Amino acid sequence: MDVTLPGIPNPREIIRWAFDPANEVGSISEIFEIDNRFIVATVESRMEEGIPDLNDIRAEVLVLAKREKKFEQISQELTTALANGNIEQAATTLGLELQPVADLRFNTPNLVNIGPEPKVVGAMFGLQPNTVSKPVKGNAGVFLVEIASKNEQPLPEDLNFLSLQLRDIFTNKVFTDVFNALRESARIEDNRALFY
């Protein structure tokens, strides 16, 4: 059960109405007044618990399948172009523009002007200078990466502080992981709509 609706602050009443078992598909709500706005809601569909029917998720599966096929096609084109020379020649052959990235850090999975690309950043850190990666499937496209230089970070002088910080992070992670493991192994029935 979602507890937010985009663009609607404090949608508690609407969500409670939508999850009420008495409201069937096609039901139309009374008028809700929220923050000087009048809202009428309708139940367009209901999803049953468990594995969804393929027809219900066909659009999402189709998008993923097309994306995977595009990755394979673009990867082949990049590999072929790269076989004929270096990364600059490959970019010229394909009519692409190289985008240099400076001062990249392992704990920053974002690429400037592109967005979050943790797989691409990980691929960068796995390369040696002056070597070109295989095509990497990112969130915003397919990437070829070449490292011009690597600067090793010096170790911090106070390793005790770093050790305490890491211990706290892992302690919190253990509690979160235990909670998630218990939640996944338990049979939980979601009755929040009754109390929300």
Please give the structure tokens belonging to residue 186. 């338990």
Count of other CB atoms within 10 angstroms of residue 117: 20
pLDDT tens digit sequence for 75-123: 999 999 888 778 888 888 888 888 888 888 878 888 888 889 999 998 8
Domain ranges of the chain: 54-143, 159-195
Q: How far apart are CA 135 and CA 96, in angstroms?
A: 14
d(CA 113, CA 120): 14
Convert the pLDDT of each residue in 7-66 to its tens digit: 888 888 888 898 888 888 999 999 998 888 899 999 998 888 888 888 888 999 999 999
For residues 174 and 196, give the distance between their C-alpha atoms in angstroms, rounded to a whole number. Answer: 29
Q: Kindly provide the residue ranges of all beta strands, DSSP E only, lying in the chain, ordered along the sequence.
A: 32-34, 37-39, 110-111, 115-116, 136-137, 142-143
Which pLDDT does position 61 carry in this prediction? Answer: 94
**What pLDDT shows up at residue 2?**
61
Identity at 159, one-letter amino acid code: L
